[in-house]
Structure formats: structure tokens, C-alpha cells
A and B are shown apart, each in its own frame.
Chain A
Amino acid sequence: MTLELASSKETVTARADSPFAVRGLTVSYGQKPAVFSVDMTVEPGKMTAIIGPNGAGKSTLLKAALGILTPLAGTVTVYGKPVEEQRHRIAYVPQRASVDWDFPTRVIDVVLMGLYPQLGLLGRVRPVHRARANDCLARVGMEDFATRQIGQLSGGQQQRVFLARALAQGADLYLLDEPFAGVDAATEKAIIAVLKSLRDAGKTVVAVHHDLSTVAEYFDNVFLINTHRVAEGSVAEVFQANHLQDAYGGRLAGAQMDALRLS
């Protein structure tokens, strides 16, 4: 009895400190839940991968937690407070394919969107804002593309622009939805370098990730989901054959498991 009390107390403090804590989140698109009663507690100052098969609710989890979708149930806290009070501390990078890149705007204008919370409805864009936007573009290696129309960029370049916009927000918690989907190898390297530098500066990074072969190299922690939460913890603890089989079922062949060199 006392043991249980102690452990639940511990969970409560972990939750209060957590940059991103989800409790009982349930989302449904129709009859079937896409995410069912999921708990997640992200460790501060770490890079966490959200892993799971297609349709496991990885993106849905992030979207519902941020209020882009309306969940059926659940609570989300960011650094111990409701999301609504902490929006200024969150930067979200949507899936690249979720927007129309033919939209008539330039690279620099997209990055400046990240400064909207500071600028407000009518605040003037001053040289200091432009300098900040250009600086964020330089951090993702896109400083030479500032005045390009966004439709003229490659997929990898578009993804970097999205990351630059998130950097401009100056957040403490970065939530990224499939940041490496359909990007070239150079972009993948550039993005992971930026994310690691954020972590090293004490920020928290959570990314929906689909490439199992790079999980151990890129991330500190793993959150395994298949509609339900499967497992959560450090890569060493969670990224194991038994947990992966639980999450992916028969969809991971033996050869793939071997390729991941898991025990």
C-alpha cells in the first residue's frame, strides 16, 4: 500500500515537471478510436521519438494534444499547465504535405509567421524581426532562399523552412510531425543537427518518426503507440524486440528485427 502511494506521488511530480504530459487522451474519427486512453510523460531536455505502425495514431496524438483536433477525452499539460496557457512555449511543425506549397508567399514570410505571437494583428515587422527570421533560416542552411517562392523549393528545403519557422517561435517544447518524411539525406542531417542543438540547449524535442533504423542514433527516448500506449522510456529500455512486436504485431518481419540488431 505504502509502495503504491510512493510511486503515484512520484508520477505526479514527474507530470508536473514534464514539458508535455498527456493523460487518458482518446480521439476518434468515426466509430473506431484512433487514439485510445493514451498516457504519455515526456522527459525534459530529451529527444523523444513517437513510433508506431501506419494508422497507429502518432500524428493524431500530437494534433489532438494541441487542439488541432478535438479529442473525446483526456487532459494535456505543458510544463504543468494547460496547453492554452503555454502556447508561447510550444512550437509545432506539421507534416509538410498538410499545406499547399503553391500558396503565394516567400520563404522569409513563412518564417515570419513564427513571430506572429509577438507581432500581433498590426505590429510592424522591424529590422530586428527580419534579422531573427534570417538567422533562423541560416540555422537550417536556407539563408540564400529567403526571397524564393515556397513552391520553388524541394521537399527537403520546404521541411527546413518549416523548422526555421518553429525556431523563430523561440519555444521550449518542439513537436514535429514526421520531420524526415520524403526529405533528402543532406536535409535529414541538417534537421537532426538542429534538433540536437536544441536539446543541448535544454529544450525538449518530440518527433513522430517512422524510420526504425535511425531511432537509436537520433533519439534518447521512445514512445511506442498502436492506438494504445505500448511502451515508454529510454531507447535502451523500450526499443526492444518484445515491445516492437507488441506495437507492430506481425508487421515487422524477422529479418527487419535482425537488421535493427535487437536482442
Chain B
Amino acid sequence: MSGSEFVPLSLVPMLTGIFVAVACALPGNFLVLRRQALIGDAISHVVLPGIVVAFLLTGMVTTWPMLLGAAGASIIAVLAIEGVRRLGKIEAGAAMGVIFTAMFAGGVLLLEQSDTSNVHLDVEHALYGNLESLIWLDATGWGSLLDPEALATIPVELPRMAVTLLFVALFTALFWRPLKISTFDEGFARTIGMKTGPLGLGLVIVAAIAAVAAFDAVGSIIVIAMFICPPAAARMMTNRLEHQIAWSVLFATLAAVLGYVLAGYGPLWIGLRDSVSAAGMIATVSGVILGLAALFGPHRHRGTAAPTA
């Protein structure tokens, strides 16, 4: 494909997909190891009522009110999950299940009752997003990347995801040691003075920021998949957390690129006429990668203890 076709049509959705995938996979590594991976699922569902409420209040589908609504809803959900877990003395997974299904269902009801027929706000959009629509109209080829006028019209989702990814990566790098130590041994972490409570909450909030920023561009399917599949696949490739992070970034990128290409051209290759949802295909590819890692990864077995020395 020539640059004059690729740059306006595919470059932006592909890059956005990569940024989303990596931004979710990075905190996903810690969430999976902390057995909190479902929080990504929870957050990507609870943003729906937040977005609908923001729409009802402003009457417009504009970015900032919707992002604020989504962020507000996820903060309420995180606090509610923590509250149910503590007051009900039940495990975190059950608390998440209760809160996110209830809030998502509430969002669907709100959406049905509100007059959203003339805007593209619907459940399908919430699930699949619309990666393919991120077309860079003013681009004419690779040269446009250096053309300030053309760059000004680049779909806003791309720079927004780039900033989000940068933020997530900085958080991970800066708090690498506390995250690693407290994920492995929380009791020890506290005795050396780490504030493990705020740190854990910070991790969930960073995951929520990634999920909310990604939601608008790509829908919740990719978000859910990317929090879990690349980190889980990466765990089976290595026994070191540092390497696991690198593998998860690689897998997330691979899923985004392969998924986008397969969604656009896969059906053509097998003789069908229409393309399929890129978000759905990216999530599917990440699932296939996880399956392959589970079958062939070098460290897919749990460490078996050596005989007592």
C-alpha cells in the first residue's frame, strides 16, 4: 500500500490501537499478578453510565464532558467496589462483579430512555468503539507527518492516547520498585514504610485513566482484552517481571497491528467483501496470542518446588 493511501486511512487507527494496547497492558501486568485483572473489565463497563449522564447534562457528544463523566463513574465504581469488599467482607472479584454489572445495566437503561437517536451514542459504540473512523483527511502521504497544517487536523484520539500512554509509562517507571515489592509481598512492603494502600489505589486509578481514554476511541472490548491477554501471555514467556513487561508490550503491539490488518484485509483475502470490526479483531488476536503462549510458552507451568534439600 502506498503512503498516500496508508497515511490518511490506516496510520492513525493503527497507532491509536498500539497506544491503547500498550497503555492498558502496562498496568495490566501488575493487576494480573495481584489477581485484580477484572478491574479493567469493571472500569470499561462502568464508564457507560458516566458517559450517558454527561451527555444528558450537556446534550452534546463532546469529548471533555464525556471523559469527565467516564472518569467520575470509574472513581465512584472503584470506591463502591472497595466499600462492598470491606463492608461485605467478600473477595474483590465478587465485589467488582456486583458493582460493574449493576452500573453497566443502569447505563444501558439510561441510554434507552434518553433521546440519543440522532447521535452516535449506543451500546454497540460503547463495545466496539470506532477505530476505523479515525481518518486523517488532510494527509496526502508520509510527508504530511512533517506538515504542520496537516498535523493540526490529525484525529484528536491519537495525541490523547499518546499522552495517556506517556503518563502510564512514566507512572510504571517511577513506581517500578514499590509496585514490584508490594505486589510480591505487601506485608514486607509495609514494614519498610511503603504506603501500600495509596499505591494500590494509584495503580487502579492509572488503569482507570487508560481505560477511560481508550474507551472513546476503541470501545471496551480492546480495553478488557489488553488488561489481561498480553500480560498473561507474557507471564508464560519468562520468569522475570522486567522481561514480562517487555513481552507484554511486544504482544500488545503485535495484537494491535495484526488485528487491524486482519480486520481490514482478512475478509478480502478469503473472498468476502466487507471488513470486520478492528477492535473485535485486535481483541481476538490478543486471545490467540494468549492461547499460543499457553500451549508453547517456555514457562507455562507453575514453578514446581525442588525436592527438599
Q: Kindly supply a per-residue 1/0 record for chain A positions 98-122, scoring 1 wherever the CB is within 8 Å of any chain B CB and 0 otherwise.
A: 1111111110011001001101011
Which residue of chain B has its CB nearest to the CB of A30?
Answer: B89
Instruction: Report the interface size class on chain B.
Output: 20 to 34
Interface flag for B302 (CB, 8 Å): yes
Which residue of chain A has its CB nearest to the CB of B194?
Answer: A116
Which residue of chain B has its CB nearest to the CB of A119?
Answer: B177
B162 to chain A, nearest CB (A): 24
Contact, CB under 8 Å: A67 / B309: no
Given A104-B239, A157-B309, the answer on whether A121 and B187 have CB atoms closer than 8 Å is no
CA distance A100 to B302 in the complex (A): 11
Interface size on A (CB < 8 Å)? Answer: 40
Please tell me which stretch of A5-13, A84-92, A191-199 contacts chain B, meaning at least 4 of its Cβ atoms lie within 8 angstroms of it: A84-92
Contact, CB under 8 Å: A151 / B239: yes
Contact, CB under 8 Å: A153 / B306: yes
Measured between beta carbons, the chain A residues less than 8 angstroms from B309 are: 154, 156-157, 184, 186-187
Contact, CB under 8 Å: A105 / B190: no
Interface flag for A229 (CB, 8 Å): no
Contact, CB under 8 Å: B305 / A153: yes
Interface flag for A94 (CB, 8 Å): yes
Which residue of chain B has its CB nearest to the CB of A158?
Answer: B305
CA distance A153 to B309 in the complex (A): 9
Picked from B180, B183, B240, B305, the residue with its CB within 8 Å of the CB of A155 is B305
Interface flag for B118 (CB, 8 Å): no
Picked from B174, B188, B303, the residue with its CB within 8 Å of the CB of A152 is B303
Picked from B185, B186, B193, B299, the residue with its CB within 8 Å of the CB of A113 is B185
Contact, CB under 8 Å: B191 / A154: no
CA distance A109 to B192 in the complex (A): 16
**Interface CB pairs A-B, < 8 A, 30:** A63-B187, A87-B191, A90-B191, A92-B188, A94-B187, A94-B188, A101-B303, A103-B183, A104-B33, A104-B235, A104-B239, A104-B240, A104-B243, A105-B184, A105-B241, A113-B180, A113-B185, A116-B178, A121-B175, A121-B177, A121-B178, A149-B239, A149-B299, A149-B303, A151-B302, A152-B306, A154-B308, A157-B309, A186-B309, A187-B309
